[in-house]
Amino acid sequence: MPDAPELPPNEWWRTAVIYQIYPRSFADSDGDGVGDLRGATGRLEHVRDLGAAAVWLSPIYRSPMADFGYDIADHSDVDPLFGTLDDADALIARAHEIGLKVLLDFVPNHTSDRHPWFAESRSSTDNPKRSWYVWRPGDRPPNGWIAAFGDQVPAWTRDPTTDEWYLHSFLPQQPDLNWDEPAVEAAMHAVLRFWLRRGVDGFRIDVAHAIGKDPDLRDNEPGRSHKEDWPSVHPRLAGIRRVLEEFDGDRVAVGEVYLLDQHRLAPYVTTGDELHLAHNFVFLNLPWSSERFRDVVDEFEELTRDGGWPAWCLNNHDHSRTATRYGWARARVAAMLVLTLRGTPFLFQGEELGLTDVPIGPQRIVDVDGRDPERAPIPWEPPSEAGPGAGFSTGEPWLPVHPDAEHLAVSVQAQDTGSTLTFYRELLRLRAATPALHSGTYRPVTAPPDVYAFMREHEGRRVLVALNFAPFARPLPAEAAGGRLLLLSTHADPGEGELAADEGRIIKLGDG
Ligand code: NOJ
């Protein structure tokens, strides 16, 4: 495969590492057991010290919290659980003061059923806001579309007020907005402007691919969903991009485009006038295999070689954590991968601590979709010093803290040169200091079985990344022979020759 073109890192988000804060679980300032904006503001230095360039905050808006903020009742206010608009302004100001950008979550596909728009829409069939949501009459659901949550739950609920069905791709408390209605698009653009004027640097766009649906509401076909990724989605995302471009300062649109077929994902970032970035979720569903990882990366490199910047991730608030999926050693190898590939890596709070999912007792389960374990609070200090809330909260945390918070706490790991936190800090520091790693070309290299190796190159300086997916030692790729300097290993004590079991290495080649 020929080298991918070298893209100049002229926009901040290309060289950035972006860190997701899940506000409920990051830091609690008022002792109610739920994280909040003041708490998060007080802990931003952790993100800066890690070496990330930006934070993305999961939703902070007024919400009944049926889906923990992804059900918005007022886009222009902060939920009292998280604080106030002033607290949001203070967070943005503090982040900027210490050199961090701030992305908010923008949720265009649906609102809460308690949003005043929906209250109006459901009130009568001739209400002016009726067309803002998707309504159909009939004895049965208009089609066979299934909601994302629950076991084969229809994506339609009949509302008793008018005896018609409304569409909800997620919970019944999350009615889908009708983007075929121009007034909806205009209203959502106004939401973007509200926050852009307050200084946010961009948005992560929730289910971005769902704001274009088959207007005829036809049933899905094998391999083709009619309720997302419809051609109309593209001009709508371009419209969002144009709103961002009304403002100076390289504001960025990052789509949550949950399409595992990379041929369908690529067009969201290759045209140059839609999303700047779209999360690529392929890794989240792959078996631990060097061939499989290499194949998907090579495919996406090929698909984006004429433009398009990848956005890799391994974790977020919707998925089991890598340390649970792969185990601690392999989670480091995986982190080395996403932080050295061409593209913008997204980290989820706590992965830099090697957090595993936290078992939730049956009496404590709160999420509708089994996502509590990856949302457990951040342990900032060991419970022996800070009490059972581990520095996250002085009250009872809304989800249990990690049972090994004593050793996993940030303050403990910061003092330990062999900790996962120290490893992540070194990895991000190396990435920032090495143009080949953040801006160079990508080329896969021939490697022994179980080893995935690739070259990153910038202005003649070459860096080789070699990742051993096997639980036993493997030779280094032949191209490593000219390696002059080991820049970083996932292992505290790497050997000279072979890659150890579950080891990843970054090696500087040549004289560069
Ligand atoms: C994706 C978000 O990441 C998830 O947490 C949420 O439940 C759905 N979108 C619906 O908004």
Q: Strand, coil or helix: what is 1?
A: coil
* 303: three-class secondary structure by DSSP: helix
Predicted confidence at residue 512, as pLDDT, reads 53
Distances, alpha carbon 384 to alpha carbons 33, 377, 408, 415, in Å: 18, 17, 12, 16
Strands 135-136 and 74-78, sheet pairing: unpaired
By the 8 A CB rule, do 293 and 336 touch? no
Atom of ligand 1 nearest to the CA of 371: 5
Answer for the pair 206, 174: CB distance below 8 angstroms, yes or no.
no
Cα R_g (the chain), whole angstroms: 23
What pLDDT is attached to residue 496?
Answer: 79
What are the structural domain ranges in the chain? 12-111+181-425, 116-167, 441-509
The closest of 462, 438, 458, 312 to 12, measured between CA atoms, is 438
Provide the CATH topology of domain 116-167.
Oligo-1,6-glucosidase; domain 2 (3.90.400)
Ligand 1 pocket test target in 105, 207, 258 with most atoms within 8 Å of CB: 207
**Ligand 1 centre from 317 Cα, in Å?**
9
What's the CATH class of domain 441-509?
mainly beta
Residue 397 and residue 394: Cα distance in Å, rounded? 8
Q: pTM of the predicted model, to two decimals?
A: 0.97
In whole angstroms, give the CA distance from residue 223 to residue 211. Answer: 19
d(CA 409, CA 355): 10
- Ligand 1 mean position to 109 CA, how many Å? 10
User: Which stretches in the chain have pLDDT values below 70?
Assistant: 1-10, 511-512
The SS3 assignment for 491 reads coil
Q: Which residues approach ligand 1 with their CB closer than 6 A?
A: 67, 70, 107, 170, 206-207, 256, 317-318
- 339 C-alpha to center of ligand 1: Å? 24
Enumerate the active-site residues.
Answer: 206, 246
End-to-end CA distance of the chain: 24
Output DSSP code: residue 352: G
For ligand 1, the distance from its centroid to the CA atom of residue 424, given in whole angstroms, is: 27
Q: Residue 10: what pLDDT?
A: 61
Which pLDDT score is estimated for 482?
Answer: 75
**What architecture is domain 12-111+181-425?**
Alpha-Beta Barrel (3.20)
Atom 3 (ligand 1): residue with closest C-alpha?
318
